[in-house]
Chain A
């Protein structure tokens, strides 16, 4: 698990380990995810 900050509503949300995609539960924006370290997720681009 790791947190990312939604680029649209700026709220943090949790991403499942190794997930390739995630959706912000607050504003429903969908992102592709990548992992700079095994425990740190980051938004890669729009899904």
Chain B
């Protein structure tokens, strides 16, 4: 059955491999993917270890519904203790690897220890081998995948790989699969690098069996029709996530020049419509009808020629607005470069934008940058700094350790200018006009993070009766209000935890579209696929369990309420630009703290953000770690 795929424990130090079935209890409590990964993280990673030591453990988990032909259900979750935040490390990646891992017979891989030599893990039809990776080491993320395919003589192999940045232990190195899909955040590529693990490759021809295959197939079609009928999905399937730029840059919700402005003036070249100049068509992940990325070719100009996919909205900020670059071609080229190196686009852009502001303020100078003129929009310096970060050379080596270390090293009040939470960079979104988003990045378990809870539907000014029905309590329809926003975040956290655990794409649930599949649809999909029955409230409780366990992991590592904060600038500097609704906005400190109190209370956590005994008992978490798997 589909829930009965195996978990494999792979010790890279001893080369011992153990295979076990995933017990049904685990499915009932955590579903799969991120949920089971978080259970494993809490149970297998000892407190206070160095994330780069062999004691850290890498978890790779496919979603419970991975493989079904709808809603992008091929996603894979990668987890470990984060070298960026020191807390929960977790990144969810699309593409085709997650589904292929299942066809190869496994849902979860637990990678411990450290290999003496560089290696890759080869998974095929129930078998696992640790193989020599000497010929792969030093290759970029695309070359590595191509070489693995050539070595095995099979073009349909899917691999999760690191680039040179991961080899060089850049803290925010990512894991990548295909041309574009990245497990970008929290430095999972760095953890792979620290284990001398270059790649995990999978190929499988094993059946995934379902409880009700015929009904499931029909319902998958219904789900695809449901998502593609939303305005959001239709627009996204045309221009990808770039379409967000039209709204945010028009309104004034987009970080520009690090955090000095909230929209890019004369930024027309970055508008999504311009991708048509380079696009040869769109591409979808496994089981996805939204196909939100472009396949693009840059034929002319200083960076040509090359082929790549994307760019995500994230890259428009990372190498566009935040560093004051106004040319799409430059963004495409920088996106291509970080992809090859295996760097998180968001963290890289966030750090470079910060460095540019420090340079402008005179906090760092030519001596420190090694002569790099970090002026706004200096493309040459931008590309050079990306190289330096990946290669750990010159000033890039300072940034390669992430915000925490770089702030400590540079000093001189540089921390004030860093737009980060828990050591992880924020997206190029400006949350000052949107208290709900601000609460989300302050409380997210993996640092400043828009993918743990962002209630994008808050932006639509929906009727309050509708919001009450959706969120199960009063929520203001005004996105600049603080009222009810803690409830919104709480609800979205649980939804996204479940979405990541069943292996479905967040864009195919209530992220940007209200009338997208959610609890009841997930419940029916799970039942038709696995035969297991979960009510809406049971699924919500699973979401709560996963999120609370993540919280417990962070608390065990020493995080407190003090870490659920925003950068000081959110309270002090009002937004200078934008439409009347977004201009002159900053976060009210007092209202923010009240919102945080409400948020803890909804979770059943104390004023200090610690889950109460009662809450833990209710979720069955009071005895963790229980070491069931």
Contacts and interface: CB of A to CB of B under 8 A. Distances in A.
B251 A34 contact: no
B581 A8 contact: yes
A8 B579 contact: yes
A24 to B, nearest CB: 10
Given A8-B579, A8-B580, A36-B239, A45 B250 contact: yes
B27 interface: no
Nearest to A47: B250
B243 A7 contact: no
A36 B238 contact: yes
Given A10-B460, A10-B461, A45-B271, A40 B579 contact: no
Contacts of A5: 460-461
B250 A37 contact: no
A11 B234 CA distance: 21
Q: Secondary structure at chain B's binding surface: helix, strand, loop or mixed?
A: helix
B231 interface: yes
B581 A42 contact: no
Interface residues of B, number: 19
B246 A9 contact: no
B235 interface: yes
Contacts, number: 47
20 contacts: A5-B461, A7-B247, A8-B251, A8-B579, A9-B581, A10-B460, A10-B581, A27-B580, A31-B250, A36-B235, A36-B239, A37-B234, A40-B231, A42-B235, A42-B246, A43-B250, A44-B246, A44-B273, A45-B250, A45-B271
Interface of A: 5, 7-11, 27, 29, 31, 34, 36-37, 40, 42-46
Contacts of A46: 250, 579
A42 to B, nearest CB: 6
Contact of B271 (A8, A9, A10, A44): A44
A7 B251 contact: yes
Contacts of A43: 246-247, 250
A37 B232 CA distance: 12
A8 B580 CA distance: 7
B234 A7 contact: no
B268 interface: yes
Nearest to A5: B460
A17 B234 CA distance: 17
Contacts of B249: 45
Given A10-B460, A29-B579, A34-B273, A40 B247 contact: no
A-B CB proximity, top 8 nearest = A10-B461, A36-B238, A8-B579, A36-B235, A7-B251, A8-B581, A46-B250, A34-B273
A46 to B, nearest CB: 5
Contacts of B268: 45
B243 A42 contact: yes
Nearest to B253: A7
A46 B582 CA distance: 14
A11 to B, nearest CB: 8
Given A44-B246, A44-B271, A45-B271, A7 B235 contact: no
Contacts of B231: 40
A44 to B, nearest CB: 6
A9 B582 CA distance: 11
A34 to B, nearest CB: 5
Contacts of A40: 231, 234-235
A34 B238 CA distance: 12
Nearest to B265: A46
Given A44-B271, A45-B271, 5 more contacts: A5-B460, A8-B251, A29-B579, A36-B238, A37-B238
Nearest to B247: A7
